[in-house]
Amino acid sequence: MTNLGTPSIGGGVGFVGPELGTANTILKSGYTVTMGSSLGVAASSAASCNGLSAGAAGQGFNATATPLSGGGVRAFGTNTNGTVYQAQSTAVIAMTDTTAPATATPLQ
């Protein structure tokens, strides 16, 4: 998320708001939100518009939102395939960059 929060070269704003772009794990609206990658970097990637050097961009991503104690009753996750998943529990959903999690269903 820190890369997404970095403003573009020459000014402007990041791809996510400043409250989300401060760390790869944050607390937001009663949830622990985490973003990462299980695939690592793409060595052949070009430099990004917000200053990430060539060869440093990730090949994919995954993100989870897990409720804090006394918060929500469902956990959420998403990844490179673009589907948002939900679990009818407060446990962290095990996400990879490309596969559907075994413990969650697509949010519909």
Q: What is the DSSP string of 12-47?
A: ---SS-TTTTT-SEEEETTEEEEEE-SS-B-TTPPP
Residues spanned by the domain of 54: 23-108
Structure confidence at residue 63 (pLDDT): 96
Any domain includes 86: yes
Any domain includes 14: no
Any domain includes 103: yes
Any domain includes 70: yes
Structure confidence at residue 25 (pLDDT): 93
pLDDT tens, residue by residue, 30-86: 999 999 998 888 888 898 898 888 988 888 999 999 999 988 899 999 999 999 999
Any domain includes 1: no
Nearest to 89 by CA among 106, 67, 107: 67
pLDDT of residue 108 exceeding 90: no
